[in-house]
Every structure is written in C-alpha cells, then in structure tokens.
Amino acid sequence: MEINLAGIRQEYTKSGLRECELPNDPLLLFSRWLQEAIDAEVNEPTAVIVGSVSAEGKPSTRTVLLKGLHDGKFIFYTNYESRKGKQLAHNPFISLSFVWHELERQVHIEGIATKVPQEESDKYFRKRPYKSRIGARISPQSQPIKSRMQLIRAFVKEAARWIGKEVERPENWGGYAVTPTRIEFWQGRPNRLHDRFLYTLNSDGKWEISRRAP
C-alpha cells in the first residue's frame, strides 16, 4: 500500500515571533514558550529529543523528559551507562530539540552536557514514584535482554528487597545539565516563511541574536 505522503501538508498560521519581542536572555523566551506549551495542554510538553554522537562520529537521537531548568541549564535524567550515557562520556556535545506541534513551534539547543551533582540526582530520584525507582535500579538501559519476563522477575525481586526502606538511587542513574551555547526559536508562518531567531553565545558570555532564513 502506498501512502500519499506528498499530499500531507499544513499551513502554519497560529502566531509569529517578532524581533521586538526577543529578550536579551534566550532562557526567558524558552521559559515563556515552555509555559505556553504547558498551558495549551500539548501532549508531553517537556518531551525533548536528545542528540549525541558516538566515538565514530555517528549521531543518534532519543526522547527524554526535561526535569529542570536551573541557572540557565537544561536538566534531564537517565542511565549513565545507556547508549547516550556512553556517548556523552566520550563527547559531551549535545543537542536538544523541543517540538510543540500544536503551537507550530520548535526550539533547538546545542551545548555541553555535564553530570549534575550526586545530591541533586538523589533529591530528584526520591521524588520519583516507587515503581519507577525500582525500574531504574533493575533496567540495564540499552543493553540486550532475553525477554520481558527477565525484566519482570528482576523488578519483583528488587521490589521485595526494598519493602519498608527508602529505595536508593543506583550509581549508574542520574542527571545531566546542559549548558547551552546556541538556541534557535522557530515559529511556523504561512507560505513556509517561518520566523527563525538564533541566539549564539559569544566569547564575552553575551548572547547575540540573528534572524535566519526559513
């Protein structure tokens, strides 16, 4: 069956982004857009596509959830021994892409990922639901496993070990903080004449803004 993909297209008419609206600090605009995505009840407003690069220079992506925005850094949590974790240990350059289709908006961020302090990971880990904490302890994220049953057995066994105790964060699980050096805001407009504004961090630590062609 052939699907008519060429015929699927939408006009983007919801909004515009004007130069006079741009704050000096892109984090302010990002926070505003994120809040607007939450208020608009888009599906998974904090979902972000993380790009990392292997030792051989091959890129790969996956979705995670943004769990914090502190001191101008984007925070997410994962397994440090996962595929992305190993790639980031080798090469800390990272990209983050938020896409809010309902608002016809995307934000692309590039920067450097560093592990958050262990106490910060502990603090967030304690806030996770009990079963998610057990799951994080037993899942060898990104590794081959024999069956779903193997996972469930490990989960049940681990859950039994922690009854009545505070489930500890495993050492291989924690946060990354992404310090941005480049942030692009994209707002869809009619006739594919979209608004794109790029913030780049210059050597004085100041953000420079330029409009980019769509």
Ligand X SMILES: Cc1cc2nc3c(=O)[nH]c(=O)nc-3n(C[C@H](O)[C@H](O)[C@H](O)COP(=O)(O)O)c2cc1C
Residue 105 pairs in a beta bridge with: 100, 187
> Going residue by residue from 17 to 36, which x/- string records binding to ligand X, judged by CB under 6 A?
--------------------
* DSSP secondary structure of 81-116: TSHHHHHHHH--EEEEEEEEGGGTEEEEEEEEEEEP
Among 26, 30, 37, 82, binds ligand X (CB under 6 A): 82
Distance CA 10, CA 185 (A): 19
For ligand X, the closer of residues 47 and 198 by Cβ is: 47
192 catalytic per annotation: yes
Number of residues engaging ligand X in binding (CB under 6 A)? 16
Closest CA to 16 of 185, 198, 183: 185
Among 12, 30, 74, 77, binds ligand X (CB under 6 A): 77
Residue 65 touching ligand X (CB under 6 A): yes
Residue 139 touching ligand X (CB under 6 A): no
Q: Which residues bind ligand X (CB under 6 A)?
A: 44, 47, 60, 62-65, 76-79, 82-84, 141-142
